[in-house]
Amino acid sequence: MATVSVNVPPEICPEVPAFTLWSELVEQQERGESFIQRFLRGKYSTLEVKTLATNWSLEALVCQFAVPGEDQAAREIRNANREVYLQGIEDLEQLWEREYAHAFKSAVKSATGARGLDKKRLERAREHYLAMKGAPPIFDIDPPNGDQYWVSARECQQEKLVPFMNRAKVDRLRTYEGYFTKDMVASHYNTIMNIVDIR
C-alpha cells in the first residue's frame, strides 16, 4: 500500500492568448476584470502545472532507487508510491486537456455568430486553445553534469522546482515581467489613456 498521496488541482485557468488585445476582450466590460489579471492567472496555472508535473516526475524517479537494507514489504511500498506519482501526472495531463478542450469548444461556439473583430479574436483564441490542449507542461530537466541519467535519489531531490508562490518576490516579479511585450502594455493603456497601440 502506498504511503503518499498527490493533490491534483480541481481546475486550472486556461491562458488568455498573449496576442489578444486588452481592448478586444468583450468580457472586460461585462466582468469588470482587466486583461492583465486574466493573462497572469492563466500563466500562474501553467507554472503550477509545470511545477507539479516536474516534481512528481522526480519523486517517481526517486522511487526507482533501492534503499539499502530494505525488505520486500518496503520495496512494494516504494513501487506503490511510484505508481501514485505516475497516476498524479496522468491525472494532471487529463485536467489540462479537459480545461483547454472546454475553452476551445467555448471559443468555437462563440465564434459561430460573431462578426468583425469579435470573430477574429475568437478565431485566434480557438487556435491558441487547440495548440495548448495538446501541449501540457512536461518534465524536461536534464540530469546533472551531462550524465545520461540520475545516479541517486539525492540528485533527483535537488532538481525539484520551488512552487511559484514560495519563490522570492523578486523572482516572481521577474517571471511576470518576462511575459509582457511593449505592444501588450501599449494596448492595455490604449483603452485608458488613448496611447496609440504600436501594432
Rg of the chain over all Cα atoms, to the nearest angstrom: 21
Question: Per-residue pLDDT tens for 4-31?
Answer: 999 999 999 998 876 555 555 555 545 5
Q: What is the pLDDT of residue 110?
A: 86
pLDDT band of 148, cuts 50, 70, 90: confident
Question: Per-residue pLDDT tens for 159-190?
Answer: 999 999 999 999 998 988 887 766 666 555 55
Of the ranges 81-90, 101-110, 115-124, which one carries the lowest mean pLDDT score? 115-124
**Dist. CA 15–CA 45, nearest whole Å:** 8
For residues 142 and 132, the model is more confident at 132
DSSP assignment of 55-107, as one string? Answer: HHHHHHHHTTSPPTT--HHHHHHHHHHHHHHHHHHHHHHHHHHHHHHHHHHHH
Tell me if the pTM is above 0.85.
no
Residue 143 vs residues 54, 56, 156, 157: alpha-carbon distances, Å: 13, 16, 8, 12
Q: What is the pLDDT of residue 32?
A: 52
Sign of CA dihedral 83, 146, 164, 130: negative
Question: Per-residue pLDDT tens for 42-95?
Answer: 999 999 999 999 999 999 999 999 888 999 999 999 999 999 999 999 999 999
Amino acid identity for residue 69 in this structure: G
Q: What is the pLDDT of residue 178?
A: 82
Nearest to 57 by CA among 169, 172, 136, 112: 136
